[in-house]
């Protein structure tokens, strides 16, 4: 007995010897040091949620090569400013709503004014200043679809989508995008694989409605067609529901103020590589070129990538990983935004009388240059004579001349705006690239929007926290909604 008992000691010692340092390292250093690459809404919301979870002692750095805000930015024309990237927010986007409130910011109205849908030669439909007349016109053209759409978006999409807030409040996190989206509603998984056209036809919507209204929404929101997946298509449709808003003074204030709220330090610099360290105290080394063009590095326990990892978007190297981490194969969609302070030529949009031209012109024909052309209010909500034109290629000087009868000022810029959803395919990037290395922008391949980045930010913060504390029961486990369970048993 004593011999076998004695022989236990070395074994236990070995086991303790193996595991103790790891357990100790996370318990003694309760608070990790975290480096976040990218200061857009994705990176800054992640920083905010990490601070909430890990408390005051965690060290949180955000690397930003240009400006905090990223694709949330404003452009000035005359003495007014306009949203240049992410523009409108849905009233049920709870993280964006709550951030705005928490940060002491206000809302301005983001709904579109009068609208029309242009097919390349004439307007298929235009709204009227009297709501009843507009409804009658819409009913005449699209029948019951015009009533069913609100119900479909609210009941079949938004109500399910909003389950994510309960799931995340309960601390649940997912390592893949399909697991996260599928946790909202399993039907969303098939919406990610089928086109919005197919999904809506199956739900009973007619072709006229899909080819005009839905196409118009997709072209203005993503510069793409009804062939894109149903999930992002649905997010896009919610983006033309009533009640839309923007942050007074510019949406970029949300990421800017989240940095302060998260007590994060912004490091101005371009991250060149993330290196997996061996036999060292910290897990990762982030190498970057600082504002003075000097090469620097900092070491972290946890690293979070909050910028898209695709060719033409990123050249961050991942070094010394056992299996290589490379850019993901999908491509981003190049969009040109042209801001014109001037007067549009109604005839260009098939309208004889300039007074009859709609403020927001959507288009339903993917062979024409213009995705949409809308009269914008400035970031304070004040009226302006400024039009924002989206197109998939830069308009030529002659195009602008035909489009506008007069112009005082014009600004044009192109950017890789969001994924080209025709390149997404079946294999999506994961939220976890390696132990304690996370990737927020995986979410964009399901749908790119401010709220999606915030949801992914919370998911990644929860993954990092749950992994750090070994709470594996909250990772990739189905979330049992206690309220719906009791409802079921009562039934
Ligand atoms: C024209 C346009 C209109 C849109 N309209 C809407 C809308 O109406 N509503 C809506 O909800 N969404 C809209 N979106 C989408 C929304 O803007 C994006 O989904 C969201 O802003 C993405 O945020 P992000 O933080 O994930 O990425 P980004 O904002 O791109 O942030 C990434 C940051 O990382 C930085 N970075 C990159 N590489 C490095 C590096 N190596 N080192 C250091 N820093 C680096 C970048 O400079 C950038 O600031 C729109 C987008 C565009 C382009
Ligand atoms: C799309 O626009 C082109 C060019 O203006 C036109 O020739 C074509 O008929 C239009 N298609 C539809 C479906 O309206
Ligand atoms: C938003 O804030 C309200 C009020 O503080 C809170 O009850 C709610 O849970 C928050 N929602 C989310 C998604 O965090």
Query: For a pocket test of ligand 1, which of 83, 448, 455 has the largest count of ligand atoms closer than 8 A to its C-beta?
Result: 448
Q: What is the pLDDT of residue 478?
A: 79
Q: Do both 323 and 354 map to the same domain? A: no
- Pick the last residue of a domain from 419, 435, 461: 419
Distance from the alpha carbon of residue 92 to the mean position of ligand 3, in angstroms: 11
Q: Is residue 181 part of a domain?
A: no
Q: Is the CB of 368 under 6 A from ligand 2?
A: yes
Q: What is the pLDDT of residue 241?
A: 86
Q: Do both 205 and 314 map to the same domain? A: no
Look at the chain and report how many structural domains it folds into.
Answer: 2
Distance from the alpha carbon of residue 54 to the mean position of ligand 3, in angstroms: 19
Model confidence, pTM? 0.93
CATH number of 475's domain: 3.50.50.60
Q: Do both 381 and 289 map to the same domain? A: no
Distance from the alpha carbon of residue 164 to the mean position of ligand 3, in angstroms: 12
Q: Do both 308 and 337 map to the same domain? A: no
Ligand 1 atom at shortest distance from the alpha carbon of 451 = 11
Ligand 3 atom at shortest distance from the alpha carbon of 97 = 1
Q: Do both 202 and 97 map to the same domain? A: yes
Distance from the alpha carbon of residue 35 to the mean position of ligand 3, in angstroms: 27
Q: What is the pLDDT of residue 487?
A: 41
Q: What is the pLDDT of residue 30?
A: 77
Q: Is residue 175 part of a domain?
A: no
Q: Is residue 320 part of a domain?
A: yes
Q: Which domain holds residue 196?
A: 74-162+189-249+331-419
Distance from the alpha carbon of residue 393 to the mean position of ligand 1, in angstroms: 20
Q: Do both 273 and 156 map to the same domain? A: no
Q: Do both 321 and 435 map to the same domain? A: yes
Q: Is residue 1 part of a domain?
A: no
CATH number of 85's domain: 3.90.660
Ligand 1 pocket at CB < 6 A: 37-43, 63-66, 70-72, 85-89, 270-271, 306-307, 314, 316, 335, 337, 415, 417-418, 441, 448-451, 453
Ligand closest to 364 (CA) is 2
Q: Do both 219 and 339 map to the same domain? A: yes
- 276-317: pLDDT as tens digits: 998 889 999 999 999 999 999 999 999 999 999 999 899 999
Distance from the alpha carbon of residue 34 to the mean position of ligand 2, in angstroms: 52
Q: What is the pLDDT of residue 7?
A: 37
Q: What is the pLDDT of residue 12?
A: 35
Q: What is the pLDDT of residue 8?
A: 37
Distance from the alpha carbon of residue 40 to the mean position of ligand 1, in angstroms: 6
Q: Do both 132 and 244 map to the same domain? A: yes
Q: Is residue 379 part of a domain?
A: yes
Ligand 2 atom at shortest distance from the alpha carbon of 121 = 5
Q: Do both 264 and 322 map to the same domain? A: yes
- Pick the last residue of a domain from 389, 419, 449: 419
Q: Do both 117 and 93 map to the same domain? A: yes
Q: Is residue 110 part of a domain?
A: yes
Ligand closest to 450 (CA) is 1
Low-confidence ranges of the chain (pLDDT < 50): 1-28, 484-491
Q: Spell out the SS3 assignment of the chain.
A: CHHHHHHHHHHHHHHHHHHHHHHHHHHHCCCCEEEEECCEHHHHHHHHHHHHHHCCCCEEEEEECCCCECCCCEEEECCEEEECCCCCECCCCHHHHHHHHHCCCCEEECCCCCEEEECCCCEEEECCCCHHHHHHHHHHHHCCHHHHHHHHHHHHHHHHHCHHHHHHHCCCECCCHHHHHHHHCCHHHHHCCCEHHHHHHHCCCCHHHHHHHHHHHHHHHHCCCCCCEHHHHHHHHHCCCCCCEEECCCCCHHHHHHHHHCCCEEEEEEEEEEEECCCCCCCEEEEEEECCCCEEEEEECEEEECCCCECCCCCCEEECCCCCCCCECCCEEEEEEEEEEEEECHHHHCCCCHHHCCCEEEECCCCCCEEEEEEECCCCCCCCCEEEEEECCCCCHHHHHHHEEEEEEEEEEEEEEEECHHHCCCCCCCCEEECCEEEHHHHHHCCCCHHHHHHHHHHHHHHHHHHHCCCHHHECCCCCCHHHHHHHHHC
Q: Is residue 2 part of a domain?
A: no
Q: Do both 219 and 244 map to the same domain? A: yes
Residue with the nearest Cα to atom 2 of ligand 1?
A: 85
- Pick the last residue of a domain from 419, 439, 471: 419
Q: Is residue 354 part of a domain?
A: yes
- 402-430: pLDDT as tens digits: 999 999 999 999 999 999 999 998 899 99
Distance from the alpha carbon of residue 340 to the mean position of ligand 3, in angstroms: 39
Q: What is the pLDDT of residue 480?
A: 75
Q: What is the pLDDT of residue 240?
A: 80
Ligand closest to 306 (CA) is 1
Residue with the nearest Cα to atom 33 of ligand 1?
A: 38
């Amino acid at each position: 007995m004593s011999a076998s008992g004695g022989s236990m000691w070395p074994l236990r010692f070995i086991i303790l010897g193996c595991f103790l340092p790891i357990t100790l390292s996370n318990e003694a250093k309760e608070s990790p040091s975290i480096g976040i690459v990218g200061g857009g809404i994705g990176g800054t919301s992640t920083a905010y949620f990490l601070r909430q979870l890990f408390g005051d002692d965690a060290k949180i750095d955000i690397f930003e090569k240009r400006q905090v805000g990223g694709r949330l930015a404003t452009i000035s024309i005359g003495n007014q400013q306009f949203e240049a990237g992410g523009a409108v927010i849905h009233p049920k986007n709870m993280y964006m709503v709550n951030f705005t409130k928490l940060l002491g910011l206000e809302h301005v109205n983001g709904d579109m004014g009068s609208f029309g849908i242009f097919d390349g030669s004439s307007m298929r439909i235009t709204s009227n200043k009297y709501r009843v007349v507009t409804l009658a016109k819409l009913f005449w053209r699209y029948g019951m679809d015009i009533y069913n759409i609100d119900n479909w978006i609210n009941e079949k999409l938004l109500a399910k989508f909003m389950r994510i807030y309960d799931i995340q409040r309960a601390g649940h996190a997912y390592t893949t995008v399909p697991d996260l989206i599928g946790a909202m509603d399993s039907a969303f998984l098939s919406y990610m694989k089928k086109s919005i056209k197919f999904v809506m036809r199956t739900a009973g919507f007619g072709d006229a409605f899909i080819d005009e209204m839905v196409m118009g929404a997709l072209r203005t929101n993503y510069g793409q067609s009804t062939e894109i997946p149903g999930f992002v298509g649905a997010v896009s449709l919610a983006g033309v529901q009533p009640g839309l808003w923007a942050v007074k003074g510019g949406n970029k204030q949300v990421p800017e103020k989240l940095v302060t709220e998260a007590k994060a330090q912004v490091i101005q610099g371009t991250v060149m590589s993330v290196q997996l360290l061996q036999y060292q105290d910290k897990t990762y080394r982030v190498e970057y070129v600082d504002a003075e063009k000097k090469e620097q590095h900092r070491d972290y326990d946890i690293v979070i990538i909050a910028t898209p990892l695709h060719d033409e978007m990123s050249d961050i190297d991942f070094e010394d990983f056992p299996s290589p981490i490379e850019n993901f194969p999908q491509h981003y969609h190049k969009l040109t935004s042209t801001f014109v302070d001037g007067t549009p030529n109604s005839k260009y949009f098939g309208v004889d009388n300039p007074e009859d031209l709609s403020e927001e012109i959507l288009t339903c024909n993917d062979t024409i240059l213009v995705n949409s052309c809308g009269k914008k209010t400035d970031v304070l909500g004040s009226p302006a004579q400024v039009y924002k034109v989206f197109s998939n290629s830069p308009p030529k000087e002659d195009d602008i001349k035909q489009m506008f009868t007069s112009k005082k000022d014009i600004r044009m810029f192109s950017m890789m705006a969001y994924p080209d959803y025709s390149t997404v395919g079946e294999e999506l990037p994961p939220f976890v690239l390696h132990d304690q290395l996370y990737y927020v922008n995986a979410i964009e391949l399901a749908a790119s929007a401010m709220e999606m980045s915030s949801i992914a930010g919370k998911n990644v913060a929860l993954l990092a926290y749950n992994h750090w504390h070994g709470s594996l029961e909250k990772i990739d486990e189905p979330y049992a909604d206690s309220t719906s369970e009791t409802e079921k048993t009562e039934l």
